[in-house]
Amino acid sequence: MQRGFGGIGYDGGVEAPPSPSTILGYSEEKVVPVKSFRIHVADEVLDDLRTRLRRTRFPDQISGIGWTQGTELGWLQRLVSYWNDEFDWRAWEQRLNAMNHFTWEGIHFVHQRAVSGRGMPLILTHGWPCSFLDYVEMLPLLQNFDLVIPSLPGYAFSPRPPQVGVNYRYIAERWHKLMSKLGYTRYGAGGYDFGAGVSAILAMDYPTSVIGIHLTTPDIAPVVNNVVEADYGKLKQLIRPVRGFKTLKTAYATIRGFEVMRALRKGQAAIFNLTGGVRGEARIVERAFGIGARALAEAVAVIGEGLNLQTL
């Protein structure tokens, strides 16, 4: 039997968590085993990626236009060159495998127990178009929490479900079951973008389990196919305290260009897609800078050359 965190057994036997505490969200019930997981991308997959990167056909660009219509050509060329010739995936793979990875019913997740062994359980959900990697740099800052960081279905190492209807509520239900299987009866939730919607639904559907939520994009309303009118009343109560912040945030976003704009579908990113098939890279670059031509130009002027290409 492989030992997991905090005395819980994986890949075989099952043991109860040590020192259970209802207040901190531990259950005295036996914990259903999950499978340990190790990241490994096959060499042929990496070789195929490099081949496609080398065959990229870049479009032309109006001289001196910079970032005013989206991702700047020269900057993206340097990014693709770095990705193909310098980026060391195996080194990143080794770094990521230093964390505790597991899978449960098709869901990949990272589980980091608090240093004390009795941290407040907290499940963190990423958004589009990102992954659990967004929280990697935060792990050292959250050592007082029991962290569960899953990959959304179809993202990273969570397979895409062969069905429709994979919405906020579907994922929230899976997350709640996952936390229950790990032995947590009460827990907090946090997220951004799509993850904010999942966290909000968690709070509405499982109020006796969810202690509180933290949303970095509180203006995202969780719209699901089977939502009922009463849910919106609950949601209004949840977001009422942040209404003033939302107004301020929206005004700031409008001025600075940090809202999701049509630049994802138009502008230079679309041209890259039509000519060279690197629209994905261009879209993520634009998304990383917040989307919006004015914001892109301002951001690159300040940090563009100093952006960590390895992290991107």
Query: What is the C-alpha to C-alpha distance for residues 185 and 163, in angstroms, rounded to an integer?
Result: 29
d(CA 247, CA 268): 30
* Residuewise pLDDT in 10s, the chain (312 residues): 232 333 232 332 223 333 333 334 444 444 546 899 999 999 999 999 999 999 999 888 888 888 888 888 998 899 999 999 999 999 999 999 999 999 999 999 999 999 988 899 999 999 988 899 999 888 999 999 999 999 999 999 999 999 998 999 999 999 999 999 999 999 999 999 999 999 999 999 999 999 999 998 865 554 545 555 555 555 555 555 544 444 444 433 333 333 333 333 345 554 454 445 554 555 555 554 444 444 555 555 554 544 566 665
Q: How far is CA 188 from CA 45, 96, 176, 268, in A?
A: 37, 24, 11, 40
Short-list 184, 229, 230, CA closest to 209: 184
Q: Are 257 and 292 in contact (CB under 8 A)?
A: yes
